Amino acid sequence: MTGAVKSAIGLGALLQDGIGDTVRVSLAADPVEEVRVGFEILKALGLRERGVRIIACPSCARQQFPVIETVKTLEERLSHIQTPITLSIIGCVVNGPGEARETDIGLTGGGRGTHQIYLNGVTDHRISDKGIADHIVELVERKVAEIERQA
């Protein structure tokens, strides 16, 4: 974590100024993690698109489902996706609809254990607390297959 932050600051400042053609992140961790952090830096700077870019709120007392745990699960379960796609995971209606309008797939927490799913920025259907991650994974994989068919 500390190494990733330092790399992001050090490399990010150079890359932001257009300096550098290749990136090598060094961490006291599994080399796979170094590659992941390198791609995350490039994605954050808008220099590379790869895989699922998750936009999430920091969560607070208004969250209608456990945002942080859900994002963590989705990051793991969607790590095999290479096709660029955006996904918003937002705990409540304060920021959910706005973020969902800008993403391919969106989830906004709603009351009484039901939450809103958006597809291509438009409200589509509601889901219950049960199986949120399974449902989102299925939606992302379906959308990726659709994007790859059109490519």
In whole angstroms, the minimum distance from the beta carbon of 118 to ligand SF4 comes to: 14
Our CB check for ligand SF4 shows the closer of 6 and 62 to be 62
Helix locations, the chain, DSSP H: 2-16, 31-44, 67-77, 96-101, 132-150
Closest CA to 147 of 120, 108, 116, 117: 120
Q: DSSP 3-state assignment of 56?
A: strand
Our CB check for ligand SF4 shows the closer of 34 and 99 to be 99
Positions touching ligand SF4 (CB under 6 A) are 57-60, 62-63, 90-92, 94-95
Contacts of 69 by beta carbon, 8 Å cutoff, 6+ apart? none
Contacts of 56 by beta carbon, 8 Å cutoff, 6+ apart? 67, 68, 71, 88, 89, 90
Our CB check for ligand SF4 shows the closer of 84 and 110 to be 110
In whole angstroms, the minimum distance from the beta carbon of 14 to ligand SF4 comes to: 32
Our CB check for ligand SF4 shows the closer of 41 and 71 to be 71
Our CB check for ligand SF4 shows the closer of 5 and 60 to be 60
Residue showing tokens 């790859």: 148
In whole angstroms, the minimum distance from the beta carbon of 87 to ligand SF4 comes to: 15
In whole angstroms, the minimum distance from the beta carbon of 55 to ligand SF4 comes to: 11
In whole angstroms, the minimum distance from the beta carbon of 67 to ligand SF4 comes to: 6
Both tokens of residue 79? 């790590």
Both tokens of residue 104? 């391919």
